[in-house]
Amino acid sequence: MTVRHFPATNYALAHNSIPVIHEVEAINRSSSERTGRVAVVATLTSVDGRELAHSATIEIPAVEPRSGYYSPDRALVRPHLAEIVGRTESYPADLEFRLEGDPGVGIDTISADDLTEEADLTGREVDLAEVTVVRPPFRILAENEWFNAPAFFESLTAFVQPNTSEVRRILAGASRLLQERTGDSSLQGYQAGAKRAATIALAIYEALKAEGIRYINPPASFENTGQRIRSTSEVLSTRFGTCVDLAVTYSAVCEAAGLHPVVAMVEGHALTGIMLAEQTLTGPVLLEAGAIRNLVTSDVLLPLDAVFYDSVSFAEASKRGREILSSTSVRGLIDVAASRRDGMRPLPTDSTGETDIDADSMGSQKRSTSDDWVLPAVGGPGRTTRSTARYARTIPRLACGIGSSRCSTSPCGTGCSTSSPARMYWS
């Protein structure tokens, strides 16, 4: 028996009802069928014996000779929210897996704190004949704490909070900038095509830059453990944030504007960006560095280093994002829209007051200059390359927003034009 589990849990996971256990595997290596009752009883308690989650019993059916059985999570050990909400510090907990039934069966655990390590450990040979109880290390993280490991990457999108009043204020500023620069204040997502989507992303960047947000270094433990994530409203009210905080904040505003933002985790840093068409990855997280880079070079993804705390233009921030992804060890790409599709909801906002979103509210802030208002080059042939097609899923509609019945330039009648200023994608 092997139980795969998280090494910790946090508010983001508990809020989204993500269980501690994500798989139980039973392998029968003998030449005879295992017919005796076998069950795994899982409990999660505090060090003083207080129940932190309802116990769970996973019944394992008969397993044929030299075959296996896999039980995906089925409401297995979901911590009580009351044990996490309001906690300012993490604390250890007792996670126990106990085998009941057939005495010839042993149990082992694999922590999912690193997917590469998990893959290496899955095939190992271990003598488990006398192991019937295991108590792997486990922690309950603080309410705003996030664990920096691939198994936790998707949960970062819970910290992307597009519904705060502060986000509406930034959107008002972006809308004003769009009106000044383009004559159209609309924040219409992808309805007007990829170039307009990139222009909206540019306006959001400039509106955030006008906020005067300052950068803070993450703790030394960031790379191998994690850090406290500031909420979107906290970043915009205190005007402080780490690279992860700023990437999450930019993503929140983009999501509110109808764009599909991403967060890219690289060695020692976090980037953000948007999909250039109304499409998502096939899954919430992409871990293949080569595939991530292909999305960038194929102009499916517009990366961005969220340095709106500095006097760096949007085009330069995008260039930096491309350079970082091409030269730095890439750990994963997190698609916010795909995570929402997967059921990962934003955490409740801590901002309850209404904010005046009149366009004049931006009047006292630093204005964007003509040198800042430059889009990065994202042109190219009008199709998704074969190497990236299996990673991206396009929502079935014309990305340019024109519609084939009104297109006067398309030679194929689909609405796609090779002379368009930005690449278009179709289902």
pLDDT tens-digit map of 288-345: 999 999 999 999 999 999 988 788 999 999 999 999 999 999 999 999 999 999 999 9
| DSSP secondary structure letter of residue 154 | G
Q: Which of 142, 177, 209 is the last residue of a domain?
A: 142
Q: Of 127, 142, 157, which closes a domain?
A: 142
Whether 413 is covered by a domain: the verdict is: no
Is 295 inside any structural domain?
Answer: yes
What is the pTM assigned to this prediction?
0.77
Q: Are residues 246 and 227 in the same domain?
A: yes
Q: 5 versus 178: which is more confidently predicted?
A: 178
β-pairing, 108-111 vs 2-5, is parallel
- Ranked by mean pLDDT, the top range of 67-71, 116-120, 268-272 is 268-272
Same domain, 10 and 45: yes
Write down the H helix ranges in 257-351. Answer: 289-297, 314-327, 336-341
Most confident of 63-77, 89-103, 367-381: 89-103
**Residue 285 φ/ψ, nearest 5 degrees:** -135, 135
Please say if the pLDDT value at position 215 is more than 60.
yes
The answer to whether residues 10 and 153 belong to one domain is no
Closest CA to 198 of 257, 249, 252: 257
Whether the CB-CB separation of 115 and 9 falls below 8 Å is answered with: no
* pLDDT at residue 418, rounded to an integer: 31
Check pLDDT > 60 for residue 424.
Answer: no
Q: Give the whole-number percent of the chain exceeding pLDDT 70.
A: 72
- At residue 74, the pLDDT reads 57
Reported as type and span, the H/E element at residue 301 is strand 301-304
pLDDT: which is higher, 399 or 16: 16
Domain around 288: 147-406
- Considering the domain architecture, whether residues 348 and 263 belong to the same structural domain is answered as yes
Same domain, 266 and 315: yes
Q: How many domains does the chain have?
A: 2
Identify whether residues 177 and 129 lie together within a single domain. no
Stretch 278-292: mean pLDDT? 93
Band of pLDDT at residue 108, cut at 50, 70 and 90: low
Both tokens of 266, joined, read 């690289």
Q: Please, are residues 5 and 67 in contact by the beta-carbon 8 Å criterion? A: no
89: its two tokens: 């510090």
Question: CA distances (Å), 382 to each of 59, 391, 407, in order?
Answer: 52, 17, 15
- 101 or 96, greater pLDDT: 96
287 and 354 together in one domain = yes
Q: Is 415 domain-assigned? A: no
- Calculate mean pLDDT across residues 384-404: 40
User: Which of 142, 169, 188 is where one domain is finished?
Assistant: 142
Helix axis angle for 194-209 and 314-327, nearest 10°, is 100
Q: Is the pLDDT of residue 211 over 60?
A: yes
Please state the rounded mean pLDDT for residues 85-92.
86
Confidence class for position 411, pLDDT limits 50, 70, 90 = very low
Query: Which residue, among 272, 331, 351, has the nearest Cα to 307 in the 3D structure?
Result: 272
413 or 235: which carries more pLDDT confidence?
Answer: 235
Instruction: Please check the confidence at residue 287 and state whether its pLDDT lies above 70.
Output: yes
Q: Is 427 part of a structural domain of the chain?
A: no
Detail the DSSP E strand segments found in 29-130: 38-46, 51-60, 67-72, 91-101, 108-111
